[in-house]
Every structure is written in C-alpha cells, then in structure tokens.
Structure 1
Amino acid sequence: MAVGLFRSKRAYNWYISTVAAACMVLYGYDASVFNSVQGSANWVAWFNHPNQSLIGGINTAYTVGAIFGGFFLGGPVADFLGRKVGMGMGCVLVIAATFMQAFAPYHNIACFIAGRCIIGVGQGIALTAGPIYIGELAPPHIRGKIMTLWQTFYSVGSFICFWVNYGCTEHAARLGNWDWRMVIVFQLLVPCIILVLLPTLPGTPRWYIQRQNNVEKARSALQRVRETEEEVEEELNQIRGALEYEKEAISSSYSALWKDRSVRKRFLLALVLNAGQQLTGQGSLNSYSTIIYKKVFTSASQISLINALNATFGILFTLNAIWIVDRFGRTFLLEVGGIGMCICMIIIAAVETETPTLPNGAKTESVGIALVFLLFLFILFYKPSWGATVWIWTSEVFSMNVRAQAVGMASQTQNVANTIFNQFFPIFLDNDGFYAFYFFAGINLLLAAFVFFFVPETKHVPLEEIDVLFGGSNHHTQGENMLVETKLGLRPDNDETVATEATKPVASAHIEDSKV
C-alpha cells in the first residue's frame, strides 16, 4: 500500500493531493501551449497563416470543449464512476488530443482545432474531479493549504510549457517544424504520470457511501488519511448524517441546485467568482501574452524568455497562499487581490499609453522593463487570491448531493468567460492597445466589492457543516438526528447501511449522546 511508503498520514495526504492537483498542470500547460506556438513562424506557415479571427476561433474551440466536458460530463462521471475515474478519463482524452495537434496534416487547421476541442473536453472532466477529490480527503484544518497546490500546479504547467518553448525558440532554425511540435508533445508527460500513480490513491469516503452504500470501504479510505480511529469514526458519522439529511429533506439529485435556496445562493456566488477569475485580465494574459508583448518588444526570443520567467515567478507567488489562506481567510485574500490587481492595471495602461513609441513599433528599454515588472506585480496579487482562492472556495462550499456537478459547472464559467472575451480580445487590443487594461482595472475593483458585500468566509469549516454559512441547515446535525430516530424505530429505515454491523458502534454512540 502506498501509504506505507510515508512516515506520517499528513505526508500521505500531501502525496495524494499532489497527484490529484497535477490535473491542473494539464490546464496550465494547455493554456500556455497555444500562446507559445503562435510565436513560431513555422507553426504559422504550417497552418497557412491564420488571421486574428481564426486565432480567436482556435482558442474558442478549446473553451467550448472544456465547457461541454465540465457542464455535462464532469459531474456525472465524478458522481457515478468516481473521482479517480474522472481524473483518469480526462488524462486519456488529453493524451489522444495531443497527438492530433502535434501531427495535424499540412495546412489542415481543422485537425488542430478538433484536437483543441477534445483536449478541452478532457480537461473539463479532470478539472471537475480533481478539486473535489482533494476537498473530500483533505483534513479541514489544512484543506486550504493543500488546495493551494491546485493553482500552484497551474503555474507549474505554464512553467514547463514556456521554458520548453523558450528552448525550442532558441533552436528554431535547427528544429524546423519541431520547434512547435516539441512544445505540444511535452504535454504528454504529466497525464502519463497521473495515470501511473492513480492506482496508489484511495477512493473518497463520501463517494463510497453516497454511491455504493459501502461504509467499510469508506472507513478503509479514511484510515489511510486520518491520524486516529476516533477521527475516522467521527468523520464517517458526519458523512452518513449529511447524506441522510440531503436524501430525505432536500434532494439526492442535481435539482437541489435550483430547488434549495441555500445551495442556489452559493451556486450563483460560485458562478460569479469563477467568471470573475478570468475577467481579472489573467485569462487574456495567459492566452495572448505573446501578442501583448509584441506591442512592446520585437525579439521573439526575448518574449519567450519573459513568458518563461512569468511562469516561474507564478509558482513562487502562488505558494504564498499556503501560509496565508488559512490564516487570513478566503475573503480577505480575494478583496486585497482585487484591489491590488486594479491598481496594477491602471498603472500598466498609463505607462504604455503615455510613453513614446519607437519607429520600429516597440517601446524604449526602460518602458519595457517597467511594463514587465508591473505585469509580474499583477501576478503577485492574482496568484494567491483570485488564482488559488477561487478554486479553494468553490471546491468546499457545496453539499455532497450536488458537489460534483456544481463544481464542474461553476469552474467552467471560467471558460464561458474566456470564450466570450478571448474571441474579441485580439481585436480589442489591435484597436485600443493598452487602453484595454483600464477595462480590467474596473472589473477587478467591482470583484473586490462583490466579495466584501456578498461572499462569506469558509476557512476551517468542516464540509458537512458549511451549509449553515449560507442560511441552510446543519446537514451533519440534522442527519445525525435522523439516524438516531431510525435506530430507535421512530422512522422507517431507508438506508441499508444503518442496519449493518459496521455502523452499530457509531449509531450507539449517538444514541448515548441523545440520552445525555
């Protein structure tokens, strides 16, 4: 058993979370790969010099695939087949689509676009299952720290892609068409590693009970990640109680997303936060930083190096969330991040638009350095806040009956926002230049205000008790009462697991508590 290789349960928790968070490497790499290959003259020639509208369409193909995967496939796959199966299925689709992109026939942009669409479907499925898996197995007191890995690995994906691209750009004359193919082929690395390591991970106890009514498998999974038997039994009881209440008093189907007022409220909040994450300006920077920097610099190698350094610092900046997200809380980070990004965008727009442009279309070296510094400063504010914290908040606020579908749909509003905005951003940038950054400044200020007035704090709250923050009942307590009533014969026994020998000690303990 893989847990035997680790000296402590906490180390094993970090290991399984790291494997699950590696799904985000797929997203980070792919968000950067098309950005990278756009700078290759060989790629442009191979696909017959696509215009800006077609470039936007290629990005849209990916996001449409991701939206379809996240909205319609991610939740059902994670719920009915399991979180691990969801991650594995997403990796398989990414591998297949990578080959389609890397070896698309000459001038056959349709094959490349189809690969982008399929890779989006795969990521939509994997990015639904991954954060749910981490959220359901991580102990509450370190859940925020562990979930920080999720956004960190996005930066790791960008880091790998941009440095590979930089190396290929430096040797483009010798590599020929492999200068862009190599960048795409490297996308195979991480999904292959994930598929190899998935069998060493436990399933989630909540899924075992919710879908299989198997308390023993749930107990076995918890024993691999919790320090004591008392913790295991307490969490098992919380899970069973919450599921019993959700099944009896709310709905065991996805209809609770609009029927239950508390769930509906947090779902709408999650939609706004996830869409807002991409409208901060980071979504456009990830997809179009190459063409943005072309307005400042003329050297393709220099632009590749800046992108690579940006991704490198992105990892370090995201890691800041590990020590602050559970100390200061989710809402504090979102508010400070929004205000900081707003100020950065205002200064970036002012510096570029109010300084002279050289005859070759570039800026002076000092202006270029200032803009790169400011864009890096923007990333410093974004990564631990709207980068990492939005994923943390989204993965932990939903009750079990709707968690997979809600996380899948909410997270894919990122791609909905990207699809809408990135389709016309290249035209926006061509027509208005860096004045476009004033738009991002206004959005960031509005997002910070939205969090201040509407978003509750969730740090350290157990998953089964988080409903109370949104005006709902405590699913754990209500479910416990139902289980006790069933045991005492005061209500019908609708859950076969309650009657099993495995659950008798837990039920008995709560009967004693109720007597006291």
Structure 2
Amino acid sequence: MAGGGIDTRVSHRAASYEYKVTRYLIFSCIVGAVGGALFGYDLGVSGGVTSMDDFLVKFFPLVYERKHSHLKETDYCKYDNQILTLFTSSLYFAALVITFAASHLTRKKGRKASIIVGALSFLVGAIINASAQNIAMLIIGRILLGAGIGFGNQAVPLYLSEMSPAKIRGAVNQLFQFTTCAGILVANLINYFTDKVHPHGWRISLGLAALPAILMLIGGIVCPETPNSLVEQGKLEEARRVLKRVRGTDNVEAEFQDLIDASKEAQAVKDPFRNLLKRKYRPQFVIGALCIPAFQQLTGNNSILFYAPVIFQTLGFGSSSSLISSLVSSSALIVGTLVSMALVDRFGRRGFFIEAGSEMIVYMVAVAAVLAKYFGHGEELSIPIAAILVAAIFLFVFAYGRSWGPLGWLVPSELFPLEIRSSAQSVVVCVNMIFTALVAQLFLASLCHLKYGIFLLFACLIVIMCTVVYFFLPETKRVPIEEIYLLFENHWFWKNYVGQRHQDTLAEPEKLGESKPAHA
C-alpha cells in the first residue's frame, strides 16, 4: 500500500469489523462538539464585538467617529482600520504558525495532549481578552486563542475520526463542522444581548469563550486516548483494551491488526513532507492541499461571517438590526450544513461544489448590483432594499454551508493515501489558515477601496473555483479511501502525471463510484 496499490487484506478485514454505539463513542462526540463550538464561537463573536460602540470608544475612537459620520465618502470605509482587523486576523495568523507544532505534539504525545494544551491556551486567551485594558492585551489574548485553535483543529477532528467506527465516520466527522456553525450562531445570540449591556457587554461576549474552553479541558483530561495513537506510541495492550471498550465488543482483532499494519507503514516513511511533493502525489497535493483549502476562504463567506454585524452596520443597519441580520446568516450556515450531512453521500461532492457554487455567483452579483444602485450616497438603505440584501446574503451562506464549508474539510481528508495523510493534513490546515488570516485582514480595506466591486471579485473567484472542480476533481463518493488514487490514474488530465501503475488491479468504474473523468 505504501507504493499506492490496493491492499486487499484490509478490505477483507474491514468486512469483519464489529461495533456498538458505546458511551466512549458518545463521549468522544461530545469532546468533538465542544471543540467545534469553541472554534465557532470565536469565529462569530469577534465581528459582533468590533461593531459595539463601547468596544470602539475604548480601543478605536476614530473608528467610532467614522461609524456615526454621515459623510458620503465614509459609507464603505467606516471600519477601515488595520489594527481593528488585526484583532480578528491575529487569531488565524497564530493558528497558522502553531499548526506544525500541534502536528508534532499530536503525533508524538497523542491526541489528548493537543486537546489539553489547546483548551488551556484558549482559556488563558479568553481571560486576557475579557480583562483587556489596551490594544496590546487584546492582540495577546487573540494570539493565545489562535494557538488554542491551532491545537484544537489539529487534534479534535483526528480524535473523532479515530474513535469512530468506519461505517459512521463520515457523519461523526461532520459533527465538528456542525458544532462550529452552532458556535457561530450562539456567539451572535450572545452579542445581540450583550450589546445592550453598557459599558462592558463586549467583555461578557469575549469572556464567555472560557466556558467551552473549560469543558474541552475537562474532556481532554478524562477522555481515553485513541487506539491509533496508543499503537503509534507502542502501547499495544492498552490500545487493544481501549478499542474493545470504544467498540463495545471483544471481537476487535481484525481492526486492531489493521491499526498495527497502518502504523508500521506510516513509520516506514521517513520524510512524509518530502514524499508529499513526489510526482505520483501531485494531483492530491494540488487539489486537496492547495486549491480546496484556499478556495474555501476565497468564496468570501468567512468575510461575511467575521464581519456580518460590521457589514450590516456599514450598509446602514442599526446596531440591533445588524446583529439580528448576522444571526440570520449564521442560521443559514447551520441549515446548509445539515443538508450537506444528509445528502452529500447521495449527490456527491462535485455536485454540491458546482451547484451551490453557481448559486453563490448569482447571489454575489445580486448584492453588488443592489449596492451599486442604492448605496454609497450618504443615505441609509430603505427597508425593502435592506431586506433584499439580507435575503441574498442568507441564500449565499446557505449555499456555502452545504458545499464549500463542510466539503472544504471533507474532500481533502479523503484524497491522500496513508503514507502522506498526516503531513498533507498539516499543509491543508496551514493553507486554510493563511487565506483565512489574509481575507480577515484585507476585507474591510478592500470593501473601502473596491466598494461593491469586492462582491463582484468574489463572484469571479467562485467562477474559477467551480471550473477547477469541474475539470480537475474526480468524484469520491462511496470510493474506498485507499482506492481513491485510482480515480487520478483514470482521470483525463491527472493520468499524465501519475500514470496507470497498477493495471492488473484497476477496478471497473462502477465499482469505484463516480470514477469517470471529472469532465465527463
């Protein structure tokens, strides 16, 4: 299998796996849920806080003055302040830097270690942010929150994946994305109420991030280590014991032997990052590690999630109505994720990418057209026009929530063979955080200078993304993860790079699900 072939032994063993839904599995889901909610809460809370008058008066008085100015030239530029946007983006720059350290700790010391370190870092960051007296304390707190997210995003999805039985792994993995969306929604709800608490409502919003951090810390301490990690650490008997408990059966030898074999093969690869650059892995590297995580951020959706209250206030909504509007958009994200969880294995990854992406293009053009005609003249939008904008943004986020949001994490996790999977995941997280941080840092300045054109820019980028998916991403639904490389060997373009190295083992297309060339 290290050479890319099909290990039929694994398939035979997998057929004899047994499992029950045990309390350990339920507990691992709870840990994952808390980890996702923690990440989502921080995604959602920052935009609401940066739109609160009390927060702006204390830290950014010039932005506060521009916010309440009715001069025509400030319509798009009320929040154009690089230090203010650094308050949001510093978290993602920190997560980017810490990703590789988190990967090392997760691999060497186990998933629990990273969960605990991440929870502690996030807890301290939340306390510092809630008690901040100056901008330096704000940024330091955000950096610690970012470190916590770096560790949590590395370890929690991996913990969920390894604790889950193979037959329900997809649904359990999407739980992290779902609870991330739920965390965004809860943050917007809290912001709506704390906006009315003067002068320290923003402190309550930032400080409440400590609650999920404490729950995640407790979960990380009391939860069992994954059998996969224990095998990696050479603790074979403990791994077998945990596997029996988490599967609810003593008949685990087939799965246990597969864990041992997989660990040996992974350890045989001395330099996984160099292996990742080999020609035979180029399709997965280009599509899975570079394009999809970058595209996920370049849709513009996270700009809307980060700055929803800011955007709506910029467009003339009052403080309370802007928070309500951002609450609507975060609700759309949850509904979209539920749709994706229910239907993605029926309609496929490419179908959701392209169909939802096409809708997103229409909604971004609609937003740009409305703003070009009705906004930027020093006057507030009328209620009907404002309603059209909210509806377009709701539908945009709903489309993202069932496509580029969850699938931006799911598809890369499916593409990579075992021998480069861990190193590839580090690159996926790294690329994602690079573009998350850049978009967070540059969006408000771009809104100021490009005005409604920023939404046309996002529409053009989504056209490019859908085109790349249509021509270069094969369909992976229902394809065994260790056989996905065959899709690239049969692909109209990628076969020129990877060739057909295993002619004698190639399966018929119908046995590999949607394994026809992506453009067919």
Q: What is the TM-score when the length of structure 1 is the normalising length? A: 0.82
Look up the SS of the partner of 1:202 in the other structure: coil
Look up the SS of the partner of 2:208 in the other structure: helix
Aligned residue in 1 for 2:48 = 36
How far apart are 1:198 and its partner, in Å? 2.8
Structure 2 counterpart of 1:425, which letter? F
State how far apart, in whole Å, the 2-side matches of 1:415 and 1:268 are.
Answer: 17
2:159 is aligned with 1:133: yes
Aligned residue in 2 for 1:447 = 465
Q: Deviations over 1:485-511 (max 9, x none)?
A: xxxxxxxxxxxxxxxxxxxxxxxxxxx
Change (3 A) 1:382 1:64: same
Aligned residue in 1 for 2:74 = none
List alignment gaps of at least 5 residues for structure 1.
1-6, 479-516
Change (3 A) 1:157 1:351: same
How far apart are 1:17 and its partner, in Å? 2.7
Aligned residue in 2 for 1:242 = 262
Look up the SS of the partner of 2:228 in the other structure: helix
Aligned residue in 2 for 1:63 = 92
For 1:14-163, what aligned pairs fall within 5 Å after superposition?
Answer: 14-49=26-61, 52-70=81-99, 72-105=100-133, 108-163=134-189
List alignment gaps of at least 5 residues for structure 2.
1-18, 64-80, 490-497, 506-520
Q: Deviations over 1:320-359 (max 9, x none)?
A: 12211222232322222222211211122122223366x7
Aligned residue in 2 for 1:224 = 245
Change (3 A) 1:452 1:165: same
Look up the SS of the partner of 1:459 in the other structure: coil
Look up the SS of the partner of 1:457 in the other structure: coil
State how far apart, in whole Å, the 1-side matches of 2:424 and 2:394 are.
Answer: 32
Contact 1:344–1:375 (8 Å) recurs in 2: yes
2:261 is aligned with 1:233: no
Q: Which one of the candidate residues 302, 319, 324 is aligned to 2:338?
A: 319
Structure 2 counterpart of 1:214, which letter? K
Contact 1:267–1:410 (8 Å) recurs in 2: no
How far apart are 1:153 and its partner, in Å? 1.3
Structure 1 counterpart of 2:416, which letter? F
Change (3 A) 1:48 1:350: closer
How far apart are 1:67 and its partner, in Å? 0.5
Q: Deviations over 1:290-319 (max 9, x none)?
A: 222123333111101111232233222211
Identity over aligned pairs, percent? 27
**How many residues end up aligned between the 2 structures?**
458
Deviates more, 1:59-68 or 1:461-470: 461-470
How far apart are 1:183 and its partner, in Å? 0.4
Q: Which one of the candidate residues 185, 188, 195 is aligned to 2:207?
A: 185
Contact 2:36–2:180 (8 Å) recurs in 1: yes
Look up the SS of the partner of 2:451 in the other structure: helix
For 1:291-370, what aligned pairs fall within 5 Å after superposition?
Answer: 291-355=310-374, 361-370=379-388
State how far apart, in whole Å, the 1-side matches of 2:38 and 2:413 are.
Answer: 18
Deviates more, 1:459-468 or 1:83-92: 459-468
How far apart are 1:88 and its partner, in Å? 1.7
Contact 1:144–1:326 (8 Å) recurs in 2: no
Contact 2:273–2:423 (8 Å) recurs in 1: no
Change (3 A) 1:293 1:375: same
State how far apart, in whole Å, the 2-side matches of 1:117 and 1:449 are.
Answer: 36
CA RMSD of aligned residues (A): 2.7
Change (3 A) 1:268 1:94: same
Change (3 A) 1:63 1:246: closer
State how far apart, in whole Å, the 2-side matches of 1:220 and 1:465 are.
Answer: 30
State how far apart, in whole Å, the 1-side matches of 2:26 and 2:273 are.
Answer: 34
Contact 2:116–2:221 (8 Å) recurs in 1: no
How far apart are 1:390 and its partner, in Å? 1.5
How far apart are 1:467 and its partner, in Å? 4.9
How far apart are 1:469 and its partner, in Å? 4.6
2:400 is aligned with 1:372: no
How far apart are 1:383 and its partner, in Å? 0.8
Q: Deviations over 1:361-406 (max 9, x none)?
A: 2211001001101111011111121111121223343344543443
For 1:394-473, what aligned pairs fall within 5 Å after superposition?
Answer: 394-470=412-488
Look up the SS of the partner of 2:374 in the other structure: coil
Contact 1:467–1:474 (8 Å) recurs in 2: no
State how far apart, in whole Å, the 2-side matches of 1:337 and 1:11 are.
Answer: 37
Q: What is the TM-score when the length of structure 2 is the normalising length? A: 0.81
Look up the SS of the partner of 1:361 in the other structure: coil
